[in-house]
Structure 1
Amino acid sequence: MSYSIYHNLLIKASQKAVFDAVSQPKHLDNWWTLKSSGKPELNTEYNLNFTDDYNWFCKVSKIENNQSFYLKMTKSDEDWKPTSFGFDLETKNDETLVKFSHINWQEDNHHFKHSSFCWAMLLNGLKNYLEKGIIIPFEERN
């Protein structure tokens, strides 16, 4: 049995703007990572750096320009290692519906539940980044 995290939210921004914010390192660093690298191309490796202790790697496992972007973890802590996460985007009137998923967690443990909470907070940060231009300093992100 595996466990999954799902969050849906509306963002007042174009699908392209949301896609860029979830797939381009220069944007990821404004709402999620301390520093990241990678290119939004299938099978490309991304480095997601949060600290020296949390310097993780993943590969693009699915990409549809301005519609879907998924990463499969390759080097991380044990709980995250078998997981994949991603974003499916749809236009709803003048907003973008973001359907976020983080799947294949092996245990319904504290880390799984804490990560679900963190994703909710981070996705709210993504929304504020795109709608209001707010960049929360990395040290203040939960």
Structure 2
Amino acid sequence: MSYNIYHNLQIKTPAKMVFDAVSQPVHLDNWWTLKSSGNPELHSEYNLNFTDTYNWFCKVSKVTPNKSFHFKMTDADKDWNPTTFGFDLESNENGTMLKFSHVNWQNADDHFKHSSFCWAILLNGLKNYLEKGIVIPFKERN
């Protein structure tokens, strides 16, 4: 059995802006990572650096420009390693519906629950980044 995290949110910007914000390191660093690297291409490796202790790696497992972007974890905390997370985008009259998923968790333990909460906070930060240009300094993203 595996466990999954899902969050949907409406973002009042075009899908291309949302896609760029979840796939390009220059944007990821403004709402999620301390520093990141990678290219939004299938099988490309990304480095997601949060601290020296949390220096994670993943590969792009799905990419459809302006529609879908997913990562498969390859080197992270043991709870995260078997997981895949991603962003599916649907354009609508109000901008873009972002459908987030983080799937294949092996346990619904405290780390899973904490990660679900953190994703909700981070996705709200993504929304504020895209709609209002707000960049929360990394040290304040808890």
* Alignment TM-score, normalising by the size of structure 1: 0.99
**In the alignment, what sits opposite 2:53?**
53
**In the alignment, what sits opposite 2:4?**
4
Deviation at 1:94, TM superposition (A): 2.9
Deviation at 1:95, TM superposition (A): 1.3
For 1:65, give the aligned amino acid: P
**In the alignment, what sits opposite 2:73?**
73
Correspondence list, 1:1-142, <5 A: 1-142=1-142
1:16-48 Cα offsets, whole Å, 9 max, x none, are 000000000000000000000000000000000
For 1:26, give the aligned amino acid: V
For 2:117, give the aligned amino acid: F
- Count of residue pairs brought into register by the alignment: 142
Partners of 2:57 and 2:120 lie apart in 1 by 22
**Is the partner of 2:80 in helix, strand or coil?**
coil
Structure 1 residues without counterparts, runs of 5 or longer: none
**Is the partner of 1:88 in helix, strand or coil?**
strand
1:49-101 Cα offsets, whole Å, 9 max, x none, are 00000000000000001000000000001000000000000012031000000
For 1:20, give the aligned amino acid: D
**Is the partner of 1:136 in helix, strand or coil?**
coil
Runs of at least 4 residues off by over 6 Å: none
Structure 2 residues without counterparts, runs of 5 or longer: none
For 1:128, give the aligned amino acid: N
Partners of 1:22 and 1:46 lie apart in 2 by 12
Partners of 2:30 and 2:21 lie apart in 1 by 9
* Alignment TM-score, normalising by the size of structure 2: 0.99
Partners of 2:108 and 2:118 lie apart in 1 by 15
Please report the RMSD computed on the Cα atoms of aligned residues, expressed in angstroms.
0.4
**Is the partner of 2:59 in helix, strand or coil?**
strand
